[in-house]
Amino acid sequence: MTWSNDEIAKLVEPDRVHRKAYVDPDIFDLEMERIFETLWVYIGHESQVKNPGDYYLAQVGRQPMIMTRDANGEIHVLYNRCPHRGAKLCTAHSGNARRGLRCSYHAWMFHLDGKLNNMPAMQGYDGTNFDINDPQFHMKKPPRVDNYRGFWFASLAEEGQSLEDHLAGSKLAFDQLVDRAPGKEIEVVGDCFRMVQQSNWKIFLENQLDSSHPGVTHESTGHAALTVESDIKKHGEEPPMAYGFLSDFKRIGFDGWTKFGTVGYPNGHATLEGYMGLRPTDPDTNEYVKRMYEAYGEEKAEEILAVDLHHVLVYPCLSIQPPLQQLRTIRPLGPNKTMTEIWHFRLKGANEAIYQRALGYYYLVNSPSTMVNADDLFNWWKCQQGLESDGGDWVSLHRDYGRDYQEDGVWHSAPDSMSELPLRHMMQAWKTYMTANGKGA
């Protein structure tokens, strides 16, 4: 069906959302057009293309993109398409093309900034309308490309908010990712894990800040981790800190989960406060804090380390955990299929133990053998199954509705609540974008 703005707006009420928002294929197409192919969407981190000639594939909505680094060290974002007969140019996720990108079909050659360099048997174009300097024969550039602190984004809208204005309060995620490095730089570790969720992209975002789910969804893992920890302690040893990230699921309990506030920033971004106690006083952490003091001075270092965040959602495509150096980006594939790229970063200048600790979390929570996300993925798939049925029309977002409060344009959850604020907040942003007909916001 075709959806009018009025019909779209009716899908989102202040405290509930119609199931069609998650399952309708035409709504999905409109989301691609008005959200993913309009807003700033994450491409990748500069360290993914470390050396001249490096390239990395990305996706903006339905558009295949490629990020490159040219011989001068400049980063470019281009459509991954050959302007000759339209073939996709690169197919490997990443690689190095120091001498330029070469199409496998008829060998048109492109510079890393997308300009056409040459091709075999060029004399065949003499006297035709073909002109090697005409941009229509170059790889197309998205209308807007920008980066914030080394994190690259593209927007397919000609006009709209600048990247920084769009990121608004969520800039904190990137500041925290970078500033937590005593060396003031970070870089990706290896390749990302690519995991497909059998569910709508919004279900993933909604889960990230949902503090009412971990104790239930992850009960088995919390219990198992707690048991193993206590077995290790019985032998007089200290369990690795990463195990504690899992046993928290059991330890915290429903009362505990009410202690972590959520915040809703303009443009749909949101955060959940930290709960993992990542500022312990063990020798490894002390050594790290010492390096931070040396790098920034005590006052500034304390300011950086005082920020306690679990997740930052950068609408519509990122979930970032700065204290654990992790970033997940989503690439929606269909109303019921979502690709995630899960990245881990190394803090330059930090001691190895800090890296290992975060890597432990990355493994236990985000690897393809995860004992944590396994049950999340399962619940999201179940949500998708239920929402595709006629068993009911609405999704409830009522928890603590009416008790959130606003300060300077930023929403805060009521104290001691597991408010569904972030869910309501994101869906209100969704409604704004979806009824703006792709004009940005």
Partner 1 sequence: MGEAALKLVESDRFALTEVSVETQLAVERFLFRQAEILDEAEWDDWLALFTEDGHYWMPAREDQEDGEGVPNIFWENLDIMRMRIRRNTHPHAHSQSPHNRLCHVVSNVIVEKVEANGDVIVRSRFHCAEYFRYQVRNFTGKYRHYLKKTPDGYKIALQRVDLVNREGPYDYVMQWWV
Binding site for ligand FES (CB under 6 A): 82, 84-85, 87, 103, 105-106, 108
Q: Indicate whether 211 belongs to the interface with partner 1 (CB under 8 A).
A: no
Is 145 within 8 Å of 153 (Cβ atoms)? yes
Determine how many CB atoms are found less than 10 A away from the CB of residue 280: 11
Site residues for partner 1, 236-255, by CB under 8 A, read 239, 243, 246
Query: Cα–Cα distance between 226 and 247 in angstroms, integer?
Result: 5
CA distance 346 to 358: 9
List 172, 359, 395, 429, residue binding partner 1 (CB under 8 A)? 359
Instruction: State the virtual CA torsion across 392, 397, 400, 402 in degrees, nearest 10.
Output: -100
Site string for Fe ion, 370-389 (x = CB under 5 A): ------x-------------
Residue 106 contact partner, candidates Fe ion, ligand FES, partner 1, none, CB within 5 to 8 A by sort of partner: ligand FES
Binding partner 1 (rule: CB under 8 A), the pick from 374, 410, 414, 441 is 374
105 binds, among ligand FES, partner 1, Fe ion, none (CB under 5 to 8 A by kind): ligand FES
CB of 207 to partner 1, least distance (A): 14
- Nearest residue (CB) to ligand FES, 84 versus 111: 84
Quickly list DSSP for 182-240. TTS-EEE-SSPEEEEESS-HHHHHHHHT-TTSHHHHTHHHHHHHHHHHHHHHHTT-PPP
Binding track, positions 409-428, relative to partner 1; x by CB under 8 A: --------------------
Q: How far is the CB of 156 from ligand FES (least distance, A)?
A: 22
Select 220 or 286, whichever has its Cβ closest to partner 1: 220
d(CA 289, CA 302): 9
- Contact between 321 and partner 1 by CB under 8 A: the answer reads no
DSSP characters over 242-261 = HHHHHHHHHHSHHHHHTTS-
Binder among 225, 317, 427, 434 for partner 1 (CB under 8 A): 225
Specify the residue, 168 or 358, whose C-beta has the smaller distance to partner 1.
358
Rounded Cα distance between 201 and 61, Å, is 12
Q: Cβ(103)–Cβ(87) under 8 Å?
A: yes
Q: How far apart are CA 186 and CA 221, in angstroms?
A: 31
What is the largest distance, in Å, between two alpha-carbon atoms of the chain? 84
The number of residues that bind partner 1 (CB under 8 A) is: 43
Question: For residues 3 and 260, which CB has a smaller minimum distance to Fe ion in the complex?
Answer: 260
Which region holds residue 274: left if phi is over 0, alpha if psi is between -120 and 50, else beta? beta
**Which are the contacts of 226, defined by CB distance < 8 A and separation ≥ 6?**
247, 250, 251
Q: Which is nearer to ligand FES, 130 or 363 (CB)?
A: 130
* Closest distance to ligand FES from the beta carbon of 97 (Å): 14
- In whole angstroms, the minimum distance from the beta carbon of 106 to partner 1 comes to 29
Q: CA-to-CA distance for 195 and 209, rounded, in angstroms? A: 20
Q: How far is the CB of 217 from Fe ion (least distance, A)?
A: 5
Q: What is the binding site for Fe ion (CB under 5 A)?
A: 376
Q: What is the binding site for partner 1 (CB under 8 A)?
A: 93, 189-191, 193-196, 198, 217, 219-221, 223-225, 227-228, 231-232, 239, 243, 246, 339, 344, 352, 355-356, 359, 362-364, 367-371, 373-375, 377-379
